[in-house]
Structure 1
């Protein structure tokens, strides 16, 4: 029965698309996914469609007229995901992409002139890919991100912008990713303020040697995989980008006391330092010219905060000794925060505070 319903959904999707193709106004252009110039962890799949994978993976295009049509879908007909967008430099909102209701996304613009639009993935890699097909609009033309220094942000749910936006789904309702807002996370925000490009490599619940309620897989176990899944067969091509700064914000989940159900061993200082140093060595093997920054966490407080900061300094000293000719590792310690998002995460407003804290730190590094 489920297969039959799924078949009908797929059929209705193609019929709907065909109807749109017939009814589109004369003079429109079709911009195919393979012609887009995306930024972030993405792939062009076998069907020649663009898959947005990592948090805040994005692409841009120009068009004329008062609207454009984007064909977007999710691989699982029973799932949903979120895009978000800005038009003519102004952020708008999130767009729900529902596998049960396939169809085009229509974006309206103010006026009939030329417009510039950027589309972002609002959610993280583990939420699944969002598949972009054709874009239909008058004078539709793909554009590239401007040339600028690149910062790669490696981290956990905080870096993802998870549980930050309860404007549509109040905390405690919907699915976990219903409150994701990668565009408004601290990394993209501070990068935009700096005029820098950004690459998001983040996974909710992950740490440097364990996750929030289990022993793994940790970030070093999944970092080289395209979608950050431990069993992924597709590797990420690290030659795609060359970041000037690689910013690592891991440790919150290593310090976690767990879910109260699984057995949780005490935090191990030595393992934390060893795994962190090895992870930085892995990053340096991928990006020999990048400068490394290690960040604490606004969620780790009190005695744990003191231990965390001390260990980050130890990690910095280890790495600096191993690579005496490289630029030194930079450390940044967040001010403790009482978060206002869901499940003790920073809210959209909190992320602005974090971005403002980080701005002079990254600004000095970029100089």
Structure 2
């Protein structure tokens, strides 16, 4: 008789727990489709209704509850990289495999509600990272902050290329294994000033010539959605309205290339003329923006003076051509001995660069800041 009542009690308890809606909810998995996300940076929704993050540090945000969520992502490369913040704190890079069907899992140290910001660590030429969906509990897409926007146009330095050998040592792996766009000077500066940002940057690119070729240069690819000259798809510049457009191009124009391919001496007249034309192009996209020209921290000696003189000439010619617009602002970096891979700034070097230019951009934006958090 006792065994009978014991069995009956167990069965009744199981029935009650099984019918408890709170208990069932803890096991429920929700799905957030890629089309619900609100990206910042160059991106698109492809034919499969996946969100492709294209440009360096293109990013999305979402929230979830519990201790984990799953990212269903892929790339058309052998591998690529995302990186993320959890509850406002930077975590790490995540390798995205081209053919992998397994999700990337983001773990939280405790339950409750959490926010995630995903960033593309690599650049447009590395290939897009496609987000199919996100699964987890009580998922919700996060809106983008209403704040001033800075667009950073540049080369590999702006990309954060070759900056982070913490996982793959310099000289090993492939080029994008050391990319870390989140830690590049532009995103760091934007976080310090509490502004939004987009990166329009390509490794090796220049204004009138590239590191080891005559083109295609930034003026030739800037309007392309992925900075690829052969792509017919153009970027929709009405997507954003930056308060400041920062242009940092000249390092590759002044370089000697690989020392093997024949390369003519730097042509300052061509550089200045092309630069002035490019500023005109940018102004046609953003008529009310403030243009800021940055020199290169990687150039020293006579070339540093030469670049500064060229940028001054660009400012003078642009200001003369647009007398009613805001005058072009110019900033000359202090020379730097880079500690990253292949002569690039390291993650720590980018922190120094961001701190150096913070007062300059703070004045342009006319924003007040608290003591900066520069991870």
Using the size of structure 1 for normalisation, the TM-score is: 0.92
Q: Which residue of 1 aligns with 2:97?
A: 98
Q: C-alpha offsets along residues 69-113 of structure 1, whole Å, 9 cap, x if unaligned?
A: 11010124xx10000000000000000011243310110012110
Q: Which residue of 1 aligns with 2:128?
A: 129
Distance 2:256 2:145 in 1: 43
1:185-196 superposed matches below 5 A: 185-196=184-195
RMSD over equivalenced CA pairs, Å: 1.0
Q: Which residue of 2 aligns with 1:223?
A: 222
Gap change, CA 1:356 and 1:257, over 3 Å in 2: same
Structure 1 residue runs of 5 or longer lacking an equivalent are 1-23
Q: Which residue of 2 aligns with 1:20?
A: none
Distance 1:89 1:99 in 2: 28
Q: Which residue of 1 aligns with 2:22?
A: none
Q: Which residue of 2 aligns with 1:114?
A: 113
Contact 2:189-2:358 within 8 A present in 1 as well: yes
SS of match in other structure, 1:206: coil
Distance 1:145 1:62 in 2: 13
Contact 2:74-2:100 within 8 A present in 1 as well: no
Q: Which residue of 1 aligns with 2:362?
A: 363
Aligned-pair CA distance for 1:25: 7.0
Distance 1:327 1:288 in 2: 10
Q: C-alpha offsets along residues 293-325 of structure 1, whole Å, 9 cap, x if unaligned?
A: 000000011000001001111100000000010
Distance 1:206 1:25 in 2: 51
Contact 2:87-2:116 within 8 A present in 1 as well: yes
- Check if 1:75 corresponds to 2:63: no
- Check if 1:177 corresponds to 2:202: no
Distance 2:175 2:256 in 1: 20
Distance 2:159 2:76 in 1: 21
Aligned-pair CA distance for 1:150: 0.1
SS of match in other structure, 1:103: coil
Q: Which residue of 2 aligns with 1:5?
A: none
Contact 2:185-2:351 within 8 A present in 1 as well: yes
Distance 1:272 1:232 in 2: 25
1:13-52 superposed matches below 5 A: 26-52=27-53
- Check if 1:214 corresponds to 2:207: no
Q: Which residue of 2 aligns with 1:293?
A: 292
Q: C-alpha offsets along residues 101-134 of structure 1, whole Å, 9 cap, x if unaligned?
A: 3310110012110000000000000000001011
Q: Which residue of 2 aligns with 1:13?
A: none
Aligned-pair CA distance for 1:26: 3.1
Distance 2:100 2:45 in 1: 23
Distance 1:317 1:74 in 2: 44
1:132-211 superposed matches below 5 A: 132-211=131-210
Query: How many residues are matched?
Result: 342
- Check if 1:316 corresponds to 2:320: no
Q: Which residue of 1 aligns with 2:14?
A: none
SS of match in other structure, 1:64: strand
Q: C-alpha offsets along residues 43-75 of structure 1, whole Å, 9 cap, x if unaligned?
A: 000000000000000000011000001101012
Q: C-alpha offsets along residues 205-261 of structure 1, whole Å, 9 cap, x if unaligned?
A: 000000001111100000000000111111000000000000000000000011112
Q: List 4+ stretches of structure 1 deviating above 3 A.
A: none
Q: C-alpha offsets along residues 306-360 of structure 1, whole Å, 9 cap, x if unaligned?
A: 0100111110000000001000000000000000000000000000000000100
- Check if 1:65 corresponds to 2:90: no
Distance 1:53 1:242 in 2: 19
Bigger Rg over Cα? 2
Q: Which residue of 2 aligns with 1:17?
A: none
Q: Which residue of 2 aligns with 1:273?
A: 272
1:235-254 superposed matches below 5 A: 235-254=234-253
SS of match in other structure, 2:69: strand
Distance 2:53 2:345 in 1: 24
